[in-house]
Amino acid sequence: MPFSCLPAEIYAAFIEQLNEPDIRPTLLALTRAIPRSPVPRYQLFRRIRIKADQLVPLYQRIRPRQQDIERQEEEPRTWVQELSLETWTADAEIVLSILTLLSNLSALTIWIGPKNFTPEHLEELFSIDREGRCLRCVKNLSYLSLRFRPYVQKASYHQFLSGSYFDSILESLSRWPPGRLSTLSIVQDPLTSESLTSEGSEVSPPSTFSLGLPQLAAGFAQPIVFFQLESTFPGLLRGPYLRIPLRTLRLRFPSRNITRSLTQAPVPHPPSYGASIPAGSKPSSKYVRRVANAHLSPTPYLKFLDLSTCLIAESFLPQIITQYPSLTHIILDSCNVLRNHDVAIRDNAREWGSVSMSCAVAGMGKAKERERKLNAWLDALKTGKKRGGKLDDRGSQTRNSARTRGRKGLATATLSLRKEDTLSGSPSFRPAITDSSTPERIRVLPPLPTLRNLTANLYVPASMITSETGMLPPDVLDPLLVNIHREWERGWAEGLTQLVKARERLHASWRNNLVRVMRFATAEELGDFGMSSSENHAQSSLATGDFSPRSHSTKMDLRLSEANNSELVGDPLQDLIEVVDKSEFDVDMSELSSQVSSTSVGKAPVLCLAGVSLFTNSGQGVSSLVGDIGSVAIQGIDHTLGCAHEVNRKLWLDGM
């Protein structure tokens, strides 16, 4: 049989054997060599990477045509599954017209520069609850990457005077319905000579805002992307679209501390775009937006977190680890971990042991804080119950004194069948104490650490660097790395010892019936009781594809909604389970595996110090980054086997 007469399935099988870079040229060659054969042309549209000059031809090719509709042929726009817009000068109007046609997208990458998109363009694109040019692929989207490069070569105050920020994107995403987005990347490129002179940075400021402004060669304030992350990002992490399916998160905001955005609860009434509310005035609906699921914890299933270039110091690590119970990989390249002068190498690198210990015992601080809130909540319930009892006694005395004289026989009711008032201010759930021997004191079991990988830069004083190579001499670097890894493992072992002793003390108290012990639910158990019914429906929708809304009727929803309506800040019993078996106190101290699926904690997390300097231009090879506090980030260190960088390269489609 001639090659041109093969069935379409055979051609598709041939194409599937090719590597990704070879698929497109091979398909183009086949369509030209045997144009009448059933070559699978849909694979040409499956993954598209476009530049600025390719937008118009792409739109003309995928837009619905009358002849295709009459022939009932499959439209090319349904073939596109991955789209990557890799240009800083694209026409935003054409891009919006293209994206509204693509309903089967599963991966979307957009580059936002000073010359293509404005906040209004992206707000229209991501506001799917409004009519207009918005995304139609929300239920299929599993990968979303937004890359910002807002830098310009000429001074302009247009953005600052007009309040042109991209906070509205985060607000729009937080209002999306439950979906399947497991990978999210929001990156702002660092200010380097490459990003400052890239295509689109030569844009001039509008004449209205450039009159009388100094045209500085350097040193002027560059535009910023997000104005107030603390008001928008906590709500995004608790939104119905991201909270359950999100597994991988990359946030890169150069020199910005986003710890509070990751760990704190949303503000009750976040202002839009950072607009302040005057004192003494009533907030208007224009600026006030209620945060959905504000009483819930953020993204309980998050496993991979990349915070490179952010202002994250070692003291913030325990807060981040305890906030995300499933977190296993953290990348902190070009951050502020042990960056002060020689703190990373003094006393034979002993500070690395302190960092490791703080990561191991982070759960102890989380348990203590929850104990404090829980016991305060129980005390308030008891106080309210006593006050209610006194009021009932006074009311009964008043009713008895008002009764008329008469016969009082056995038929007089001594029990009340009246339903309990569920509209009171206190939450509807109360811990039942049915036996006088049951202890009233409640303790919380410290959770085991889940961290398996951590990456960072190694900072040393600039005086230690040789001027010829820009690196540490091998006879200095090799012993230093040995000391760092030894201290890292020592600190982890000492932290686990403290954690095990604390759990053993709680076990003894629980065994002697002195306290009731609660523990934090695991990631698997959260699906049973720690989520609202809308989130349970979202998790089941990931498998069935059914995204239709359903009613909320579970007791957990009722309790959480009542707590939210009464303006309680969090639920002290959220994601807690009472310990009923002694095996729940056990700790697996084996060092057999450091994989994500392993429950053993005896092996210290993999520490990799080969952090890539993201503030230097690519193509310079092995280099060093001089910090603003007299320290240098050493580059060229070999990667540790199985480090988070290997996982990072497999997760992202852009290779960053």
Q: Let me know: does 646 contact 243? Beta carbons within 8 Å.
A: no
What span, in angstroms and rounded, lies between the C-alpha atoms of 151 and 144? 22
Q: Let me know: does 638 contact 333? Beta carbons within 8 Å.
A: no
Hey, is 607 helix, strand or coil? strand
At 616, list the tokens: 């230097």
**Phi and psi of 114, rounded to 5°?**
-75, -5
Contacts for 6 with CB less than 8 Å, ≥ 6 apart = 37
> Which pLDDT value is given to residue 599?
66
What span, in angstroms and rounded, lies between the C-alpha atoms of 307 and 276? 28
DSSP 471-505: S--HHHHHHHHHHHHHHHHHHHHHHHHHHHHHHHH
> Which pLDDT value is given to residue 487?
95
| Residue of 484, 497, 477 lying closest to 454 (CA atoms) | 484
| Residue of 144, 29, 136, 35 lying closest to 85 (CA atoms) | 144
Q: Let me know: does 473 contact 466? Beta carbons within 8 Å.
A: yes
Q: Is the dihedral of CA 446, 447, 452, 457 positive or negative?
A: negative
What span, in angstroms and rounded, lies between the C-alpha atoms of 428 and 555? 10
Hey, is 432 helix, strand or coil? coil
pTM for this entry: 0.79
Strands 625-626 and 631-633: antiparallel
Dmax (CA) of the chain: 112
SS (H, E, C) 178-242: CCCCCEEEEEECCCCHHHHCCCCCCCCCCHHHHCCCCCCCCCCCCCCCCCCHHHHHHHHHCCCCC
Q: Is the dihedral of CA 356, 296, 303, 47 positive or negative?
A: negative
What span, in angstroms and rounded, lies between the C-alpha atoms of 91 and 200? 12
Residue for token pair 């997000």: 226
Which segments of the chain have a pLDDT < 70?
A: 1, 67-73, 156-163, 193-220, 268-292, 385-439, 467-470, 527-571, 591-599, 612-630
What span, in angstroms and rounded, lies between the C-alpha atoms of 378 and 371? 10
474-511 helix and 362-402 helix, angle to the nearest 10 degrees: 30
- DSSP label of 517: E
